[in-house]
Amino acid sequence: MVVRERTQVGIVGAGPAGLILSHLLALAGVDSVVVEIRSRAYCEARQRAGMLESTTVELLRDAGLGDRLDKEGLEHDGIYLQFAGERHHMNFRELTRGRWVTIYAQTEIVKDVIAARIADGAALQFEVSDTEVARLDEDKPVLRYTDAAGIRHEVVCDAIAGCDGFHGICRPSIPRGGLHTATERTYPYGWLGILAQAPPSTDQVLYCRHDNGFALHSMRTPEIGRLYLQVPADEDIANWPDDRIWAELKTRLEVPGWELTTGPVLEKSITPMRSFVAAPMRSGRLFLAGDSAHIVPPTGAKGLNLAVADVAALATALTRLIRDGDPELANAYSDHCLERVWRATHLACWMTTMLHVNPGEDPFEAQLQLAQLRNLTTSRAAATMLAENYTGYTPLRYDPRTRLTPAAVWGSVALSAQSPSTLKLKLQWKCPRAAYLSG
């Protein structure tokens, strides 16, 4: 038996992209069905990102998802950069005249949005199987899945959002010729990440280049540390007992007068690193968002932030398309997102290659990395470039009550590109009740 249903937007994937999209659409009065292959508990526990751009924080607040984030998030002025045994603080708030970053784990964002969606009575299906998307070139594409009880569903939609990550089914469902570009670069290393019952030894996130390889000291709460080590791409986690992890973290991170606090390792895993961009991010009525369309290596902390930027733009575009019958923003969606995606792809690739040690790296390469790091820590212009890119790009805005003309939206984007610090004022002047807007 197949249960036939109807919704406005079928969303594949309950990661941050799919969940936040469904929430933003609901605020605009647009219905969606979200299907997810994993269990709710798995989605809420999957350890990944932690660093949020100030623009992401502002969007979550504006969407009513900021309560716990404001109580428990750790707001930081900047980061530390360490190399050749020297540690330097990069004060992004000062360099950007006010932008900051916040540590708040992706697991917590996922919990917050799931709770909000369920409280709202949303159609959120976990543990589905055999997800399929079809009729993408028609006005009524379909989403098919088998629910946790084994019942097959066919949902007729106005649009489908592929928010199913890099390994999902949506991108491969695009008909031959639909993707013009799929650019990929792999790196000969990965990150071994641990979550540890160890109070962070640093007050802000610390990125370190060491001759043994990259290390990163982040945190989740004042009691829980999150730390990463560069390891070979094909490394077996079995080669890394906890004692070896801590010893290597100490070797790479410690400087005279500063010791790393250790503690029980709660979780550990290895993540491969790649850059990937699929374009366009749309095929007919299928729209890709987040990791399903692009992957960055985690060094610049961009992946989750890009996913949020995509769905802010997509919620706007789909609302205009479905509620108002206006396709203009939907048609502009891919180009609009890809501009930000390529900027973040550059930042992530640049930070990765500057801070990681290539297997067989020669002294010439090592000196080039050190020269770039010295430039960043001695030139205000270079530091400002890092600060602007790291803390986020133009603001994301969302107001489901307002019907905007595309000219007002893109006019505001153009203004923001000229003068980020005055964007809010100009936005209010141009569109009195703010905007659905992703810059």
Select which of 104, 187, 228, 390 is catalytic.
Answer: 390
In the complex, least distance from residue 97 CB atom to ligand FAD, rounded to whole angstroms: 23
In the complex, least distance from residue 196 CB atom to ligand DHB, rounded to whole angstroms: 12
Is position 297 an interface residue for ligand FAD (rule: CB under 6 A)? no
Q: Alpha-carbon distance 420 to 271, whole Å?
A: 35
Residues 96-125: x where in contact with ligand FAD by CB under 6 A, - otherwise, as a string: ----------x-------------------
Q: In the set 123, 134, 156, 169, which binds ligand FAD (CB under 6 A)? A: 169
Is position 13 an interface residue for ligand DHB (rule: CB under 6 A)? no
In the complex, least distance from residue 293 CB atom to ligand FAD, rounded to whole angstroms: 8
Is position 277 an interface residue for ligand DHB (rule: CB under 6 A)? no
Is position 162 an interface residue for ligand FAD (rule: CB under 6 A)? no
35 binds, among ligand FAD, ligand DHB, none (CB under 5 to 8 A by kind): ligand FAD
DSSP string computed for 113-164: HHHHHHHTT-EEE-S-EEEEEE-TTSSS-EEEEE-TTS-EEEEE-SEEEE-S
In the complex, least distance from residue 305 CB atom to ligand FAD, rounded to whole angstroms: 4
Is position 218 an interface residue for ligand DHB (rule: CB under 6 A)? yes
Q: Take residue 107 and report the two structure tokens written for it.
A: 């697991």
In the complex, least distance from residue 364 CB atom to ligand FAD, rounded to whole angstroms: 30
Q: Take residue 268 and report the two structure tokens written for it.
A: 């550990």
Q: In the set 133, 288, 307, 434, which binds ligand FAD (CB under 6 A)? A: 307
Q: Take residue 99 and report the two structure tokens written for it.
A: 């932008």
Q: In the set 161, 205, 215, 387, which binds ligand DHB (CB under 6 A)? A: 205
Q: In the set 95, 270, 279, 301, which binds ligand FAD (CB under 6 A)? A: 301
- Backbone angles phi and psi of 344, in degrees to 5: -70, -35
Contact between 162 and 150 under an 8 Å Cβ cutoff? The reply is no
226 binds, among ligand DHB, ligand FAD, none (CB under 5 to 8 A by kind): ligand DHB
Distances (CA, A) of 433 to 407, 422, 423, 428: 15, 16, 14, 7
For strand 282-283 and strand 286-288, is the pairing parallel, antiparallel, or unpaired?
Answer: antiparallel
DSSP string computed for 329-363: HHHHHHHHHHHHHHHHHHHHHHHHHHHSPPTT--H
Known active-site residue 145: no
Is position 62 an interface residue for ligand FAD (rule: CB under 6 A)? no
299 binds, among ligand DHB, ligand FAD, none (CB under 5 to 8 A by kind): ligand DHB
Q: Take residue 259 and report the two structure tokens written for it.
A: 């010791």
205 binds, among ligand DHB, ligand FAD, none (CB under 5 to 8 A by kind): ligand DHB
- Backbone angles phi and psi of 227, in degrees to 5: -130, 150
Exposure string for 82-113, b = 16+ CB within 10 A, e = fewer: bbeeeebebebbebbeebbbbbbbbbbbbbbb
Contact range with ligand FAD by CB under 6 A, out of 82-90, 298-306, 360-368, 389-397: 298-306
Burial class (CB in 10 A: 0-12, 13-18, 19+), 71: exposed
> Mind telling me the catalytic residues?
76, 207, 298, 302, 390
